[in-house]
Structure formats: structure tokens, C-alpha cells
Structure 1
Amino acid sequence: MSSEVETSLAGECRNPNDQCRNNDERRDKEQLNATLELRASFVIRHSCFVIFTLPSAVRYLVKARVKLGKDRALVQAIDERVLGRGSIAGDEYLHNMEQARVTENGVAQWVETCFCDPPLSEERPYWEEYFDLLSVKDAHLRRNCRHENGTEPWACCNCDCTQKLEEKLRTQSMSFLNTLRSEKSDF
């Protein structure tokens, strides 16, 4: 490999002769990886790749109320798949809204997987465009997390606890998104 070849943070070797993806996609990927690298607790650089580790994931139960007059804009952002655009969390916002439930008093709740300290520091501005965040709490006891209690390092990478927590929420309340889209929406 020649020394003129640049390396993106995503590990792609770039050189002027490459047939590459469009510039917007490359810029977005570089921006995402630059942000991730800033949050990394450990970084190794090589001529063709960068390895970094992120802090462990924590699951939070988020409770929020849609801001007055923001319900239709939220539906539009979800339908157009632009909710959270520009965030390192990517499509996680859309997944969260698909899994979110609504209580009888109109409070949306969902399980958020977050690597930030403090919780939701990356996601908060995106959520606060549409929601008043009422609470952000650990979704389960950290002592039960195999990564956090030391029984299985990196267990969060393939953990099914988010899915289990979302299934539990499904049994307790109605779909937030279906309620939001209904004509009878009180948001």
C-alpha cells in the first residue's frame, strides 16, 4: 500500500483512483466515526484501520411527553426517517419510536440503549425537539448486567436485555406510534 493512501476512521483505505461512494455518505461516515473515536476509551491507529472501544451500553427507561403542537412534526420525522438524523445513534431513534409504549395519561416510554455519561447526552437534543423528557432511569439493576458485574466482559454487545425489556413494556401498555398516528390523538 502506498503512503499517499489516506485512511478514514471507518477503516476504508482511500486513494484518488478509488471508485468511492458518494461524498455525502463518506462525509457522514467520517463524521460518525470521528464522534465515536472522541468517545472511545481506547484507540489504536493503523495505516488501514482504526480500532477503538466504547464504554459499555446501559439501558434506560425513558419517560417523556410530546410537546404541545409537536405530534404531527414527530410523525412526519418518523415517516420520512429523519428523526435523529446526524446523530451517532443513527436509526436507533426510529427503533425506539417503533417500540415505545404510551400510558393511559399520555406518557410515552421506551428503552434506550446509551453509551453516554451522563445518560442521553448525545440523544437529548434530538428528543427534546419533540418531547419534554420526564425521567431517564436505569431500566434494570446494573448488578444483573453480566458486563457491569464482571461475569462476562462485552456482554452488552450481544445482549438480549433490551428486547426483554421492550417485550415487558408491550404487555403493559399500547403502541405509542399507533396512538400518535390515530385521529383521536391527545398529544
Structure 2
Amino acid sequence: MHERQRRERSEMQLTEAYDEKRELQRQLTQSMRLQEDYEERLLSLERSLKTAKKAAAVTATEAARFSEMEANLNEAHHTIHVLQDKLEGLMRERQESLQTAQENKSLHAEVQNFQVKEQVARRALASFIETQDFMLDKLSDVLQHTNTDVELYSEVSSLYETFCSRVEMQHGFLVELKRGYARQRDKDT
């Protein structure tokens, strides 16, 4: 019996050992498969890495070309900034020039208005002086050549009518002159 127990125990241990061996064999097979998969994956990754390195590899000539392109780009940016500054300066000068031209145009219009007013004032003054001269001459003639009171009255009446018409004309000049000054004042305000 003792022998039998021993034998059963040994068979049981042997069965356990076979089961354990089978499990270990399965695990070994699975590990070998996983190792093969990992090796294939590693080879694929190495190939991808080599391809990526080749794609990323830059030759010395390309690096020099990139450096030159970068320098040209920086120079172009600098040139653009300089040109922008010049353009802004020119735009300011143009604006100032346009403003000056507008002021000159306005001043020219004011000068023309002044010249027109000056001509009207000169005509009014000339008419006034002419009227005075005419009145003095006529009055002198009347006083020298008139013998009777009727003639004197007739001559003075004629002189008075002429004087009135001249005064009305001068009044017209003055009214026009005042209107011109009023228009200018309204325009300036």
C-alpha cells in the first residue's frame, strides 16, 4: 500500500510535471512567436528610421543653400522695412504737399477776391475824384459865365442832378464793395 501510494504520488507528480512541461512549452512557443514578432517589428522600425534619416539628412550644400536663403530672407525683410519707412515718408510729404497746394489755392482765391475788391474800390475812388473835379469845374464855369439868377438856378439844378446821379453810382460801387467784404467775412468764418 505504501508502494501504491508512492506510485500514485509519483504518477501524480509525473502528470503535474507533464502538465507543467506542456504549459512551459506553450509559453515558450508563445514567447518565441512574440520574439519573432518583436524582431520583425524592430527590423521594420530600423528600416523606417533609416528611411527617415535619409529623408531628414541634409547635405552640406543644401545646408549652405538654406543658410543663404535665410540670409536673403532677412535682407529682404530689412529692405521691406526700409522701403515701408520711405513710403510712409513720401506719403507724409505728399499729404503736406497737397495741404500746401490747398492752402495756396485758397490764398490764390483770396488774392483774386482782394484784387476784385481793389478794382471796385479804385473805380469808386476814381469816380469820386472825377465827380469832385467835374463839380469844381462846373461850379467855376457857372460862377464865371452866369449873368442872371435864372441862368444860375438852371445851371445849379443841372449840376445838382449830375451830382446826384454820380453819388448814386458811387453808392452802387460802395454797396458792391460792402457785399464783397461781407461774403469774404462769411466765407472765412
Q: Same fold (TM over 0.5)?
A: no
- Relative contact order, CA 8 A, sep 6+: which one is greater? 1
Q: Per residue, is there more helix in 1 or in 2?
A: 2
In the superposition, the TM-score normalised over structure 1's length comes to 0.21
In the superposition, the TM-score normalised over structure 2's length comes to 0.20
Q: Per residue, is there more strand in 1 or in 2?
A: 1
